[in-house]
């Protein structure tokens, strides 16, 4: 009888852990701001219809007219001087330091007490006006005027350009990637701002990548005993899979916490729609 009671308690604890994990993951996704998201450039669309910019290796930041927010909707602890002077309108952009400095950037923006000297390195690179009702071409003009009027050296527009055809786009892509950039963003010139993914905004990167929320840590075995073996992660559609490669030993000792958004890369999708050979790339955002 005693053995059966212990077993029932264990089952109850397991059930409660699963409920809590599911609640954390569901809550994390529900907090995400209703922003415009990028689809994937597949070479089929005519790039002449798009404005093209570099895909920055930064942290997405949304200015709602009063506060600077992570994509999750949680506030970014920016110094008061950094946001003073920003216009009272919604701005979508990236906090950025430079190519290949993402980990340094995350270390700065995750601090609850901002370090002024470190924040002096950052730029708020604006790429859209979520509440503007015009086309993207019209929004570019409006963004330029707003940034110029603000007159803040750390607030800039992401440079946009047009390309005539696919060979020109490929040439620009190769130049950016060879220089250490992540790839390109294509924004359809006539498109109004819309929430979610569509062909109005496309990313052109040298691999397939996506994002998922951490649900749980699965223990390692063998040489990874006592450390992380893999992350159980969840996509926005609720489907889960294990992410077990791409981690450094330091990351396995201190893995991303449940609720954190991570980026992974993969080769292709399996027949059931899950990523084949997913590899952890980086922590994308704080929970």
Question: Which residue, chain included where needed, has tokens 């990028």?
Answer: 38
CB-neighbour burial class of residue 57 (10 A; exposed 0-12, middle 13-18, buried 19+): buried
The burial class, CB within 10 Å (0-12 / 13-18 / 19+), for 15 is exposed
Q: Which of 12, 59, 78 is nearest to 284 (CA)?
A: 59
Catalytic residue from among 44, 55, 203, 221: 55
- SS3 assignment, position 239: coil
Q: How far apart are CA 176 and CA 182, in angstroms?
A: 7
The C-alpha atoms of residue 186 and residue 172 are separated, in whole angstroms, by 12
Q: Which of 32, 40, 42 is nearest to 62 (CA)?
A: 32
Label residue 8 exposed, middle or buried (CB < 10 Å: 0-12, 13-18, 19+): exposed
Burial call 62-79: b when 16+ CB within 10 Å, e when fewer = bbbeeebbbbbeeebebe
55 catalytic per annotation: yes
Contact 239, 274 (CB under 8 A): yes
The alpha helices in the chain, defined as continuous H runs, are 2-31, 80-83, 102-109, 116-119, 136-150, 166-178, 249-253
Q: Which residues are catalytic?
A: 55
């Amino acid at each position: 009888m005693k053995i059966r009671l212990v077993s029932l308690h264990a089952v109850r604890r397991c059930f409660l852990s699963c409920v809590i994990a599911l609640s954390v993951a569901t809550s994390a996704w529900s907090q995400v701001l209703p922003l415009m998201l990028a689809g994937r450039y597949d070479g089929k669309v005519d790039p002449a219809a798009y404005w093209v910019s570099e895909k920055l290796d930064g942290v997405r930041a949304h200015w709602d007219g009063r506060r600077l927010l992570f994509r999750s909707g949680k506030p970014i602890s920016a110094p008061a001087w950094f946001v003073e002077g920003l216009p009272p309108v919604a701005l979508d952009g990236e906090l950025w330091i430079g190519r290949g400095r993402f980990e340094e950037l995350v270390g700065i923006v995750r601090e609850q007490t901002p370090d002024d000297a470190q924040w002096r390195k950052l730029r708020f690179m604006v790429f859209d006006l979520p509440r503007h009702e015009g086309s993207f071409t019209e929004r570019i003009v409006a963004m330029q005027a707003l940034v110029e009027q603000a007159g803040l050296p750390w607030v800039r527009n992401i440079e946009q350009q047009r390309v005539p055809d696919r060979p020109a786009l490929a040439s620009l892509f190769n130049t950016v990637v060879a220089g250490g950039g992540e790839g390109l963003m294509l924004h359809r010139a006539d498109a109004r701002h819309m929430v979610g993914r569509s062909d109005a905004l496309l990313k052109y990167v040298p691999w397939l990548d996506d994002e998922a929320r951490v649900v749980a840590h699965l223990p390692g075995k063998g040489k990874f005993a006592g450390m992380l073996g893999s992350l159980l992660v969840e996509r926005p559609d609720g489907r889960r899979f294990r992410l077990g490669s791409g981690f450094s030993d330091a990351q396995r000792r201190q893995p991303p916490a449940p609720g954190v958004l991570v980026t992974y890369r993969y080769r292709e999708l399996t027949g059931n729609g899950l990523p084949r050979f997913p590899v952890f790339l980086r922590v994308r955002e704080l929970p």
